[in-house]
Structure 1
């Protein structure tokens, strides 16, 4: 691989090759990024919902404990 790029100018290695890779694999990279971001968003929603349920249950259990003198 080094022999192939030995006589090439610097911009071929650092500009042209990455641009070609982005054109060829751009859709794949975008799909993977969208999947990861979607997964993190769903994980954040899950954590927020579970935290909300735990908060409500603790609040309800604490308030129902004070009504146990009925």
Structure 2
């Protein structure tokens, strides 16, 4: 691989090749990022909902047990 780029100018290795890779694989990269960020968002929503449910249940059970103390 090095001998292929040996006679090329610096901008071919560092600008042209990455730009071509982004053009060719850009849709694939965007799809993968979309799936990853979508999954992370769903995990965060799940954690928030479960945490909220646990908070509400503990608050309700604590208030109902304190009412029975009267």
TM bucket by the smaller chain?
A: over 0.9
**Which structure 1 residue ranges, 5 or more long, are not aligned?**
none
**Which structure 2 residue ranges, 5 or more long, are not aligned?**
none
Given the alignment of the two structures, is residue 34 of structure 1 paired with residue 34 of structure 2, yes or no? Answer: yes
* Runs (4+) off by over 2 Å: none
Deviations 1:17-62 (CA, angstroms, capped at 9, x unpaired): 0000000000000000000010011011000000000000000010
Figure out how many residues of one structure are paired with residues of the other and give that number.
Answer: 70
Normalising by structure 1, we get a TM-score of 0.95
Normalising by structure 2, we get a TM-score of 0.95
Q: Could you say which residue in structure 2 is the equivalent of 1:48?
A: 48
Alignment of 1:1-70 (within 5 A): 1-69=1-69
Aligned CA RMSD, in angstroms, stands at 1.0
Q: Secondary structure at the match of 1:67?
A: helix
Deviation at 1:69, TM superposition (A): 4.1
